[in-house]
Amino acid sequence: MKFEKLNEYKLKITISNQELPNSNGDLDSFMSDPSLARKSIIDLINKAEDEVGFHVGDNKIRIDAKYLYNGDFIFTITKLIPKKKDLKKAKPKKVSPIDGTNCLIYSFNDLEHFFNFCSFLKLHKINKLNSFCKTTELYKFKNNYYLIFNDINDKYENLGKLYSSLTEFGNFYSIQDLMIVMLKERGDLIFKNNAIEVCQKNF
């Protein structure tokens, strides 16, 4: 069992089929008993809080499950931040980096997955991305595509929805500035600045 805190809002849990309770290595069997599945997920989240400091609190969560070729499972837990009503206007504050960094990189298997991601955001009105980050860039490197978010704002109003959407179409890659340098040095630039908006307007 392995816990990875990807950022403040997303947790990745890798678990073997032997560790999946009452399942015989089968995800459908595990989910067939909702009460047991719920208790097991809560136990995993509580353990993650102790091991990697991932705290859910009273937030709602989204759970995505993947079955790997080697028989292991990956659960991705995303905190869904509710919209706050009747907020008073406040003076702009300095953006706080997520987990000590100020960038986020997701990978896509191909351009079609990236285009579908952009279309999904537009369809579900997950917009105003300039409030989430300063720029978005898309690079191709070794047959994969990498979307870079620069200067992250963790107060973005659609933050939970955006992270959930990224999980649907891509995979978390890194939050390290050094990876951006590597992609810019070795990768091919596809879209510079506002990659998502450019894609939405032209494809």
Please tell me the CATH code under which domain 103-202 is placed: 3.30.70.1950
Write out the two tokens for 166. 């990224």
Instruction: Provide the CA 4 distance to its chain's centre, in angstroms.
Output: 12
Q: How confident is the model at residue 82 (pLDDT cuts 50, 70, 90)?
A: low
- The set of residues, in sequence order, having a beta carbon less than 8 Å from that of 44 and lying 6+ positions away, is 13, 15, 75
Q: What is the pLDDT of residues 11-60, one digit of tens each?
A: 898 888 777 766 565 666 666 667 777 788 888 888 888 888 888 877 78
Tell which wins on pLDDT, 117 or 19: 117
DSSP helix, strand, coil percent of the chain (3-state; round to 5)? 35, 30, 35
Backbone conformation region of residue 19, classed left if phi is above 0, alpha if psi is from -120 to 50, else beta: alpha
Residue-level pLDDT at 139: 96
Answer positive or negative: Cα dihedral of 121, 122, 127, 129. Answer: positive
Region of 110 (left: φ > 0; alpha: ψ -120 to 50; beta: rest) is beta
d(CA 158, CA 89): 18
Work out the pLDDT band at 99, boundaries 50, 70, 90: very low
Q: Which two tokens stand for residue 113?
A: 């997955």
Averaged pLDDT for residues 164-185: 88
Query: 62-72 b/e with 16+ CB inside 10 Å = b?
Result: beeeeeeeeeb
How far is it, in rounded angstroms, from Cα 167 to Cα 64? 8
Model confidence at 76, in pLDDT bands (50, 70, 90)? confident
**Dihedral angle of Cα 59, 55, 102, 151, to the nearest 10 degrees:** 10
Domain boundaries, the chain: 2-80, 103-202
When mean pLDDT is compared across 18-32, 133-147, 149-163, the lowest value belongs to 18-32
Asked whether the predicted pLDDT for residue 158 surpasses 70, the reply is yes
What is the pTM for the complete model shown? Answer: 0.53
Specify the pLDDT at position 195. 93
